[in-house]
Amino acid sequence: MVRLLSEKSKAQIQIFLSGILMGTIGFFLLGLNLLSTNAIVALRGLFGALIIFPILLFSKKLGYIKKLFFSHPWLTILQSITGPVLIYCYFYAIMNLGYGTAVFLLKTGPIFSVFFMWLFLKRSPDKNDLLAFLITMIGVLILTQPWDLASSSESYWKGILIGLISGVLMGAANVFRIMIFDKSRLYQDTALTNSIISSEGLSETKLSDDLIYSSLSLIFLETLVMFVMFSLLDFSYFRTMSPIHWAIAFGLGLIPTVIAFFLRNIALKHDEAGDVLIFSYSETIMGALLTAILDHELTLLLILSGICILVANGIVALKPKKNLP
């Protein structure tokens, strides 16, 4: 049977769809805007965990959680903490700056991924990376307008700082996921390998199943930590939410969380120097559209900033590929 699409093409489609689904966050936050940022993040974690746990339980795949800790103890812990803090920073920026500005700050992430690839994968940045970083910073300057400091409030600059932190954390999370779902690393533990791989060797089906359930297990850990961490900061939402709020929170946990993260995780397995990750910028398009729809404006500065950030990430994604060590 002839394959219509290569694995790389499938991964690019998956991460494109993931970006579209992540881009719907603005609609869900609009319905929950009377709640605190801590409460909204906690709700996303709650329903994300509640949706995934039965899948792992009834398919008898809870062992994959243990497997992640055996294969990547520190990476799993880092990602389980980085993911929730990233979501908090992103939601805070949305609630205080507007969806368009927040999503463009978040999408500086792949540029910061270059730094984390150098830090963890020993891949040195080249002139294309440096050019992309420079263009990204120009985009951020256009977006934040630091020359107009006097007319901007302290809360605005706090939102900008936290929005930029979401981009840095996204850069780290991208690299952590690539490292976790690299099959050469996933099966590096001999004892664990012997327990899950038959003597006939690894089949493509087995690799596919392992990737799916490892991805779901990682998302479960992230959402569980998200719920626990931010419920400790604000548990009052349980007493104030209406049925419609619970329905919106369920949608937030399902669509831009479980489904979007799942597609993103399995797609990143095929990323080589950003040629898959670049397709996640469908979320940026959704951000621009939602800004026009929800905020009733799409300023020239926002458009110019977005163009700079997209061009910068395109430079990173489309540059000549190098084999990673």
Q: Nearest 5 degrees, angle CA 248-CA 18-CA 20?
A: 70
35-49 residue pLDDT tens: 899 999 999 999 999
Q: What is the overall mean pLDDT for the chain?
A: 77
Q: Counting Cβ atoms within 10 Å, is residue 199 exposed (0-12), middle (13-18) or buried (19+)?
A: exposed
At residue 251 the predicted structure's pLDDT band, cuts being 50, 70 and 90, is very high
Higher model confidence: residue 229 or residue 297? 229
Q: Determine the Cα–Cα distance for residues 13 and 23; give it in Å rounded to an integer.
A: 15
Q: Determine the Cα–Cα distance for residues 32 and 27; give it in Å rounded to an integer.
A: 9
Q: What is the DSSP letter of 28?
A: H
Would the pLDDT of 289 be above 80?
no
155-188 residue pLDDT tens: 888 988 999 999 999 999 988 988 887 754 444 4
217-227 residue pLDDT tens: 999 999 999 99
- Residue 19 has what pLDDT? 79
Higher model confidence: residue 312 or residue 236? 236
- Residue 197 has what pLDDT? 35
> Alpha helices of 99-254 — where are they, by DSSP H?
99-106, 109-121, 127-144, 154-180, 183-186, 190-196, 204-231, 237-240, 243-253
- Residue 92 has what pLDDT? 93
Higher model confidence: residue 167 or residue 108? 167
- Least Cα distance to 251 among 31, 11, 6 occurs for 31
> Alpha helices of 145-203 — where are they, by DSSP H?
154-180, 183-186, 190-196
- Residue 31 has what pLDDT? 86
Q: Determine the Cα–Cα distance for residues 55 and 65; give it in Å rounded to an integer.
A: 13
The set of long-range contacts for 294-302, using a CB threshold of 8 Å and a minimum separation of 24, is 294/26, 294/27, 294/30, 294/99, 295/98, 295/99, 295/100, 298/100, 301/142, 301/143, 301/145, 302/100, 302/101, 302/104, 302/143
SS3 42: helix
Would the pLDDT of 145 be above 80?
no
- Residue 116 has what pLDDT? 86
Would the pLDDT of 105 be above 90?
no
**Lowest mean pLDDT segment, chosen from 37-41, 104-108, 236-240, 289-293:** 289-293
Would the pLDDT of 108 be above 50?
yes
Q: Determine the Cα–Cα distance for residues 218 and 261; give it in Å rounded to an integer.
A: 10
